[in-house]
Structure 1
């Protein structure tokens, strides 16, 4: 580090001594060399360019299919199929799809909870009738033994 600093100072002193006697081209060289040594990068100032083509801020439109029209109806975006325009934005369609996804997930949650409640009720009714998996398996194995005994006697 010390050697580089000493070289920089020596180079700076050298250019300062001859700056007053030399032309302006040496001054430009000195300035760019100094900036390169210190690690600074200078870019020439560019004037802002005018866009070559005009950009339209219109949103691209999409012609919905019959399925997408149903999704728009289910999401509540439109009341009837006649109210749906010929072309819609992709954002409108994505919002409708997301709304339908949320509705379907809520229905699946409700059906899962309902299925759990039904299974609990059926299990309690089976317990009152003294039906259990153990007793059902024992009865099934007893039946299978009887059937295999009948087949063994028949042969």
Structure 2
């Protein structure tokens, strides 16, 4: 099962569930790995796209001018790997800066299942109900059962004195 982060747009103050919520899959993005600048531009992450273009251009030029072809290619691969792994987190951070709020996380098989779970309110309410119920005590506390020993002891510390 995949995890989807649900972000709701800035509310109008009426308290109703907004219609334009976005569900972003938390995981590796192949398109962001293959062509990071295009993926960043597609998701309107302008500053990150410009930074990616500059970094990838500098690494490519440095690799060709210094004769470090393999090193430049590996560093470029490392930058692409970063955007593949952290691209979705960059999207979530960009939406948060724009005023979107995080509703919660929904676990589902695919996007349509995640949208259905979000529409019916599954995910966040289950966690809140489980958190409000008191947890049973499985193992009693060890402090009342332990007796204080007085008398002679071997070693550097005495068990009865702390």
TM-score relative to the length of structure 2: 0.23
Larger RCO, structures 1/2 (Cα 8 Å, 6+ apart): 2
TM-score relative to the length of structure 1: 0.24
Q: Which structure is higher in helix share?
A: 1
Asked which structure has the greater CA Rg, the reply is 1
